[in-house]
Structure 1
Amino acid sequence: MITTVPRPPQIFAVSPTARPAGTPPGRRSALLDHAISLADVPKAKVCFVTTAVGDDPAAIASLYAVLAGADDAEASHLQLFPQPNVRDVRSFLLSRDLIWVSGGSVVNLLAVWRAHRLDEIMRECWEAGVVLGGGSAGSICWHVGGTTDSFSDDLDPVTDALAFLPYSNSVHHDATDQPRRVLFQRLVDDGTLPPGYATDDATGLHYVGTDLVEAVTAAPGADAYHVSPGVHRPLGARRIADRPI
């Protein structure tokens, strides 16, 4: 008799970064590699969710290209515009090993997910052991909230994310074009956001249950941080590498 050990709830929340010039099209990032490995199955069923970019066909196609020919993962996707592309969204998502959420507008993502009751389904998937993850909007959404440019080119707080994780989240923390680090610290200091975690580009946070167990990075010098009132503490992210071409 084979006994199946339930997988724990896991979230891998990342700050993606633009691929360097000359990178082959469709090459997988070290962060997505790491997310796939967390599923701990021979061939992970990966579902891409692109709500945050309005299910842009080009975005969906680019994600399929990333896993084309992969021997350790197979791609699928869930789109909600103009209607779901699968008949039973709940059963479909519960059958996946990894749900990977794209960047874009976290505010629009949250509104559309709630309209489709996807917030409830995502929690059920998480509790069932489906690995949840994603970058930027796909990172903030699992937390209490964070900072976003969903409303305008300026950064504003979002405080009504899904809160599977009882922390705030800042992505692209080392960006030089926006004052993300300063603003996130101020919002935590004044209580607008609870204490939480921030990630530089190419860096991810691995949670088991609601505990942060590790920060990893694919970029030299990049890190993750625990941010509480008056404190910005580096976590010393473990370096991971892209797979060889």
Structure 2
Amino acid sequence: MTAPEPTILATSGGHRAGTRTRLLFDALVHHAVDLSGVHGRRPRILYVGTATGDAEHVTARVAEAARVAGYDLTPLQLFPMPNVEDVEGTVLAHDVVWVMGGSVANLLAVWRVHGLDVIMRRAWQAGVVLAGVSAGSICWFEGGATDSFGPGLRPVTDGLGLLPYGNGVHYDSDVGRRPLIHRLVAEGVFRTAHCTDDGVGLVYRGTELVEAVAELPGKGAYVVRRADAGVVEERIEPRMLPAPRL
């Protein structure tokens, strides 16, 4: 089972603290599974933690969240070497790819060394839902604002470009991201940027933004464009997703 057309869910969320576990999947991860259309069996999630350096403690927490959610999870690790013989076959065998946050600059460099940039495009075209949080959102776009290079935010402009826009994540919780995204659009680095508050995701069919969704109330999504008077920011009210059953 695959999505009926190339599908991406780009988010600033998807995780929350549990009571019996350190991490649970929140509504945005569950929505990525819904977008895949899988039914009649346990969903297969490929977890990609490149942006954290494949940190084992993060992988363990995500695996526990998948167990609680009733999903089969496979970690794709690239440090110190790929943990599977057939990387492309592994990616294509899953319903959803979920990419963790961290350093998007390092993620992009490592993916390209291993050809995962090309593999992700093939998976997208084959109907595997590509999704993720923060760095796992920016990577699908032309680029965005990142703290990959240090505490000060800087642009990254060599994203995979599956989506022909800039991307702003954590738009409401990191005060430097909005002004940097506005400047990058004003300067023409990105013609348009699509941005999310924490707890919000953007759903794309092909390269078209079709819906904003949220797991937290009162949050927004935004489209930033160049205009004659400078930069215009349009707020999009997301649809609230149902709270996941545990």
Fold-level similarity (TM above 0.5): yes
Which deviations, in whole Å up to 9, do the C-alpha atoms of 1:10-40 show, x marking residues without a partner? Answer: 0000002773696853322011111111111
Indicate yes or no: 2:167 matched with 1:169.
yes
Q: Would you say the 8 A contact 1:15–1:135 is kept in 2? A: yes
After superposition, residues 115-130 of structure 1 pair within 5 angstroms as 115-130=113-128
Q: Aligned letter for 1:124? A: R
Q: State the SS of the aligned residue for 2:188.
A: coil
Q: Hey, what does 2:77 align to over in structure 1?
A: 79
Q: 1:116 to 1:201 in 2, by over 3 A?
A: same
Q: State the SS of the aligned residue for 1:167.
A: strand
Which deviations, in whole Å up to 9, do the C-alpha atoms of 1:71-91 show, x marking residues without a partner? Answer: 4x2111100000011011011
Which deviations, in whole Å up to 9, do the C-alpha atoms of 1:133-168 show, x marking residues without a partner? Answer: 100000000000100000010100011100000011
CA distance in 2, matches of 1:213, 1:55: 32
Q: Aligned letter for 1:8? A: E
Q: Quick check: which one's strand share is greater? A: 2
Task: Give the superposition deviation at 1:218.
Answer: 1.2
Q: Aligned letter for 2:120? A: M
Which deviations, in whole Å up to 9, do the C-alpha atoms of 1:152-191 show, x marking residues without a partner? Answer: 1010001110000001100000014x31111111110111
Task: Give the superposition deviation at 1:238.
Answer: 0.7
CA distance in 2, matches of 1:167, 1:200: 17
Q: Would you say the 8 A contact 2:24–2:68 is kept in 1? A: no
Q: State the SS of the aligned residue for 1:147.
A: strand
After superposition, residues 26-65 of structure 1 pair within 5 angstroms as 26-42=23-39, 43-65=42-64
Q: 1:5 to 1:136 in 2, by over 3 A?
A: closer
Indicate yes or no: 2:191 matched with 1:190.
no
CA distance in 2, matches of 1:90, 1:36: 20
Unaligned runs of 5+ in 1: none
After superposition, residues 151-170 of structure 1 pair within 5 angstroms as 151-170=149-168
Q: C-alpha root-mean-square deviation of aligned residues, in Å?
A: 1.8
TM-score by length of 2: 0.92
CA distance in 2, matches of 1:120, 1:21: 35
Q: 1:17 to 1:117 in 2, by over 3 A?
A: closer
Q: Would you say the 8 A contact 1:119–1:162 is kept in 2? A: yes
Task: Give the superposition deviation at 1:5.
Answer: 8.5
Q: Aligned letter for 2:219? A: A
After superposition, residues 1-245 of structure 1 pair within 5 angstroms as 7-16=4-13, 19=16, 25-42=22-39, 43-71=42-70, 73-176=71-174, 178-229=175-226, 230-245=231-246
Unaligned runs of 5+ in 2: none
